Amino acid sequence: MPFNPPPNWPEFPPGWTPPPDWSPHPAWPPAPPGWQFWTPDEPPVTPGPPAPPVPAEPTPPGGGRISPYLAGAAAFAAVVLIGGGAFAAWHFTSRPASDAPPRPDSAAASTPASERTPVESLTFVPQHPALTDFATWLPFGGIDADVSADGLAVVLDTHDTTDTWTTKWSGIAMPGPASCSLSIAGRVRDISHATGVPGGYGLGLATVDGSAGSEVLTGSALQYDFGQQGFRLARYPDDSDTGLIPAPVDNEWHTFLLRIEQSGSVTFKLDGVAVVDDRLEPACGQPVIRVWAGAAEFADLEIDRGPG
């Protein structure tokens, strides 16, 4: 049965069928309720009635007799053609091997589009970059990072509140060179924060400076703020922002897609819905996840780092 992608997903090539290990991008919106991902094959075409027989050619005048002179001429022509064909066949088969045109290399030979397999004929196949391994990320501040056995999920917990914390900046940073743009998609849920109580998490680009236990972030991030009840585009370390974007806060799992452009443009989708479209002063650094005054869990992150 043909694959039938939802209308709110990216366009797929005609006739494409997802392989067994394929899964949709976590940042894509959910399919409409009751969506049928497979459509029944079209019924076979019923053959029509046979074509009527072609009438026989009329008999030429003279009762169908052939002149002896014409018969002789036809026989002579047949002999010439047969003889010429035999000579041509002999001449072709007797051609020396050294004169034969070279056979194209099978690896370099092009295959007509009509004979390619569905995979070879595709111009676009949705693929995913490798999911990040949280075991490689570097902790900073007073964070407790509990990484899953496969490295694809992490629970970050500060075990404190804004009244008891010993450092404001806690979280994990992705190792590697600095980047000035970032695309990050995955799943997240808050664990311990309560509506109206200071705390939350942030994702962005920043550098980690200072000694162990008293690090400071310099950069920018999107913050999910339970105390202010919404999203903020924050600048670190002064914590200035572009204004609160009110939104419900909860402790459920959500899919997200965050893009930070080198120009400072920031877009953010939550469960496929555009929530933020704004800009910040451009900043460069490592991808960072910050948690303050509580705990949050992140899973299945796909990260595309732009140039530094």
Interval 167-176: pLDDT, tens:
999 999 999 9
pLDDT at 56: 57
Looking at the predicted structure, is the pLDDT value of residue 59 above 70?
Answer: no
Q: CA-to-CA distance for 229 and 246, rounded, in angstroms? A: 6
Supply the pTM of this predicted model: 0.63
Taking residues 273-298, report their average pLDDT. Answer: 95
User: Which structural domains are found in the chain, ordered by start?
Assistant: 1-39+111-118 (no CATH), 134-305 (2.60.120.560)
How distant is the alpha carbon of residue 115 from its chain centre?
26
Lookup result for tokens 């600095």: 178
Q: Which residue has the higher pLDDT, 230 or 38?
A: 230
pLDDT at 51: 63
Average of per-residue pLDDT values in the chain: 79
Taking residues 141-166, report their average pLDDT. Answer: 95
Looking at the predicted structure, is the pLDDT value of residue 77 above 60?
Answer: no
pLDDT at 101: 39
- Of 235, 219, 216, nearest to 283 by C-alpha is 219
Taking residues 20-38, report their average pLDDT. Answer: 78
pLDDT at 43: 61
Confidence of residue 3 (pLDDT cuts 50, 70, 90): confident
pLDDT at 1: 77
Q: Which residue has the higher pLDDT, 211 or 22?
A: 211
Taking residues 140-157, report their average pLDDT. Answer: 96
Peptide bond into 14 cis (omega under 30): no
Cα separation values, 285 from 53, 141, 154, 238, 245, Å: 80, 17, 21, 16, 24
Q: CA-to-CA distance for 286 and 15, rounded, in angstroms? A: 40
pLDDT at 135: 97
Confidence of residue 127 (pLDDT cuts 50, 70, 90): low
Complete edge-to-edge strand list for the sheet that includes strand 273-279: 144-147, 153-157, 295-305, 182-190, 254-260, 265-270, 273-279
Taking residues 257-284, report their average pLDDT. Answer: 94
Taking residues 267-289, report their average pLDDT. Answer: 95
Tokens encoding 141: 């501040």
